[in-house]
A and B are shown apart, each in its own frame.
Chain A
Amino acid sequence: MNVQLAWALVHFLWQGLAIAVIVWITLQLLSKASSRYKACAGALALMALAPVATFLWLTPHITKLSGTRDPVLDTADLPSLATVQTSWLESHATWLLTLWLAGACLLLIKAVAAWLRARRLVTRQLAPLPADISRAAERLAVSLGVKRARFHSSSRVASALVFGWLKPVIVLPAAAIGRLSEAEIEALLAHELAHVMRHDFFVNLLQTFAECALFYHPCVWWVSARMRHERELCCDDVAVAVCRDEVLYSKALLRLEELRMEPALAATGGRLRDRIQRLLNTPETSRISAAPVVAWRY
């Protein structure tokens, strides 16, 4: 069984690369954030399934092989390259699996630590939102079909954020209240409510498990990072569809970023700049995908 598992992990090296190449080509052809997100999510799901499928496929295959191989080895003077590789992997399968398991467990512990820290962030030192913003938030939640979301503010968070799937908690930075207009705060809340509406928290958990299990393949990290980015773009689109003003929403993001008070010393890839550029340059029709969802619930 160790051997099959080791083989499944080794086969995933080319399988993961093949899936990444296909998704890369697909992404060149797709322009809507929602389609691009689905392509990434599909690719990651395939990546997660590939080693499982390989393992199941190999299980009867390898047992059959090991039954017939010995007589072949006896008669052959020089073992073929394939046989040498097979026996190397077979003799080192336990080692490989131990390394893989150690890496995966380490990342899993890291994810659990991040979870605990995030939960502390949304359960401690929270303040209620001012009454008018709170009312606006509840109204927005109803119009987007989100139930059971709770809203708070905290001086310990830098960005508007959401944590939790079935009972999501949305937290606004305390500094944003009073410094951003109510319309700007509503636009940011719409972004977070879009995450709730799309079950992004739950998907992110599955995604994190996939990252932990397949950590040794750079293509997995690439697809996963792409997926996270497209997810934010999808929520940007919902936020703009709700407030119907991409300049207002862009300003809200800018103000929030300015309130961080700790600009990075070096360029950080300009992700926020790219998002805002996209919001301001995208013609209405390319973002239309988000509109029906919002219009239907509005």
Chain B
Amino acid sequence: MIERDTAQRQMVRELVDRLFGGSSTQMVLQALEERPASAEELDEIRRLIAARSEGGAA
């Protein structure tokens, strides 16, 4: 009985995940952006930080 219950719940969950893309980002508040940054963007960020660190030290 319990097994069937869990199986049913699993099925509903999979259906919901498939229908709606499986994202929880709408309901959490996260420090990073929803989509990961690209390699170029990461490079640019590193440059920005390096420039500022040098400027601060000089």
Contacts and interface: CB of A to CB of B under 8 A. Distances in A.
* Residues of B contacting A: mostly: helix
Nearest to A280: B52
B31 A188 contact: yes
A63 interface: no
A100 to B, nearest CB: 20
A250 interface: yes
B32 interface: yes
A253 B32 contact: yes
A157 B23 CA distance: 12
Nearest to A158: B32
Task: Say which size band chain B's interface belongs to.
Answer: 20 to 34
A273 B44 contact: yes
Nearest to A200: B29
B36 A264 contact: yes
Contacts of A268: 33, 35-38, 41
B20 A114 contact: yes
Given A118-B27, A253-B31, A273 B49 contact: no
A200 B45 CA distance: 27
Interface of B: 13, 16-17, 19-20, 22-33, 35-42, 44-46, 48-49, 52-53, 56
7 nearest A-B pairs in the assembled complex, by CB-CB distance: A159-B32, A118-B24, A161-B30, A159-B30, A117-B24, A118-B27, A114-B26
11 contacts: A162-B28, A247-B52, A251-B49, A254-B42, A267-B40, A268-B41, A272-B41, A273-B37, A273-B44, A273-B48, A277-B48
